[in-house]
Structure 1
Amino acid sequence: MKRVIRFASVCAVFAASVGLAQADVLKIATEGAYPPFNYVDSDNQLHGFDVDIALALCERMQAQCTLVAQDWDGIIPALMAKKYDAVVASMIDTEERRKKISFTHHYYKTPLSVAVPKDSDISDAQTNFKGKTVGAQSSSTQSIYAEDVYGKAGANVKLYPTLDEANSDLASGRLDGVIADKFPLADWIDKAGKSCCKMLGDVNGTQADASIAVRKEDNALRERFNKALDEIVADGTYQKISSKYFAFDIYH
């Protein structure tokens, strides 16, 4: 069932003039199932790096923002259907997606990485999983890589609505490996998967930009985000947020 969770940003900044222009009232989508970047707590509140970055950008733009959790498979169609104004959900900027939507500058960079069971005979992240079963999140750059590389090499590729579901099957022994963006996969291994699984490392040549998505026609909004991004990086706000989640640089 499609999950939609809304909450008003408590740190929205209101313009000093009488009322906000319509352009200053924004609805922003994230997934809500991709820790530590975005997740929903027991009180149905959104948290995570993506959420904190979105709120910091809204504050810098003096915009009143509402954040909405949207299932990943429908996140681009719903943006194009104007159900919200932007997506801050660790979305990778790709040429294929640029045919439909536009992206801001990156707000972090990530390679793909691979996790396998602890007793696996696979020891290299550059494996092709021939004759084995590998999982990935559907409608993602990981799923594209899995199908284009592993599938063509003779692997069975199994796709999941969320990364958590793929990780669960890996932990349960139903998969021989999972390919995902490095940081959420490492976060899962560190918090829940150490007893069953291990990281093999990064997949060569896969580092990519995670950026904010907007509709193609919303160039002015994209540039507002770009300006705000530059400002929060320059004044240390970005680093303060990042250090809550990561002990290393994910921006450069």
Structure 2
Amino acid sequence: MLLNKWIVTLISCAALSACGGQNSNTASSASAPAASTAGSATSKVFRVGTNAAFAPFDYLDENNEIKGFDVDLMKAMAEAGNFKIEYSNKTWGSLFPALKNGDIDIVAGAVTITDERKASMDFTEPYYEITQVVLVAPNKNVNTIDDLKNLQKIGVVTGNTGDLAAQKIFGATSDKVARFETVPVMTKEVENGGVEAAISDSAVVENYVKNNPNKGFKIIQIPDFQVEHYGIVVRKGDTETLNMLNDALKQIRANGKYDEIKAKYFGS
């Protein structure tokens, strides 16, 4: 009888010990998700797509790393907004399908805000003002739209705003318009005489001329080209990400970081 009582006591203690251990593990595993959930807003990595062939906004350096005004801007916004970003370089034509399909979350690549684009994607508040300008070979005289129409070949980047401007001037199917995949390829054609001029964003053309001072190229500003603005792009209806970006952009404008980045690439 005494032996049986001792066995019962032993079993009871073992059971209590097991229950105590189970309760301890449950509390531990329950607290981990709670901590993770609390930090989820800051730990999410937003996948940012760009076309790194649009200096000084987006380009590849000698180490094949994506650099530029847009990159520094997004890094500053991520720090201000307490979120993380991960960049990927894509062709211009693949950026918006990738955004729509969910392969990336954000497009930050000197994207001009247009009514047509706003129908299928959402833009942040504008972050940079530009216009279209004409890069002209040294031996060509271009000052007006009519002068431009008298040239034989005009270069544009496919799908860029310069392409849209050229279509308005020459028509969508005009054989006077030569389309290229990137700005470097287009400007090389101007250098080689493959095209007599090219239409592109003012800051991009100015950057090219600044870095090629001995080539003698001219920049022509044509009044017919309206002022445009760049915006950061998110999927249509993604108001959470849009609000996050707008708030971060507002913060870096207020704290002076935006002006610092702008001065780095474009001067004061």
Q: Indicate whether the TM-score tops 0.5.
A: yes
Structure 1 partner of 2:10? none
- Deviating above 4 A after TM superposition, structure 1's stretches of 4 or more consecutive aligned residues are 15-19, 152-155
Deviation at 1:198, TM superposition (A): 1.2
Deviations 1:29-67 (A, max 9, x none): 111111111101121211100100011111111112111
* SS of 1:105 mapped into structure 2: coil
Equivalent positions of 1:56-75 (< 5 A) are 56-75=76-95
Which residue of 186, 200, 208 maps to 1:188?
Answer: 208
Structure 2 partner of 1:233? 253
Structure 1 partner of 2:74? 54
Moved more, 192-201 or 94-103: 192-201
* SS of 2:127 mapped into structure 1: strand
* SS of 2:64 mapped into structure 1: coil
- CA gap of 1:144–1:65, structure 2 versus 1, over 3 A, is same
Alpha-carbon distance in structure 1 between the residues aligned to 2:234 and 2:100: 8
Which structure is higher in helix share?
2
Structure 2 partner of 1:43? 63
Structure 2 partner of 1:135? 155
Structure 1 partner of 2:241? 221
Gaps of 5+ in 2: 1-34
Specify the code of the residue in structure 1 equivalent to 2:155: G
Deviation at 1:128, TM superposition (A): 3.7
- CA gap of 1:208–1:54, structure 2 versus 1, over 3 A, is same
- CA gap of 1:104–1:120, structure 2 versus 1, over 3 A, is same
Asked if 1:121 corresponds to 2:141, the answer is yes
TM-score normalized with structure 2 length: 0.81
Alpha-carbon distance in structure 1 between the residues aligned to 2:240 and 2:162: 30
Among the aligned pairs, what percent are the same residue?
Answer: 25
Alpha-carbon distance in structure 1 between the residues aligned to 2:209 and 2:51: 20
Structure 1 partner of 2:107? 87
Gaps of 5+ in 1: 1-14
TM-score normalized with structure 1 length: 0.86
Which structure is higher in strand share?
1
* SS of 1:106 mapped into structure 2: coil
Aligned residues: 234
Specify the code of the residue in structure 2 equivalent to 1:179: I
Moved more, 129-138 or 147-156: 147-156
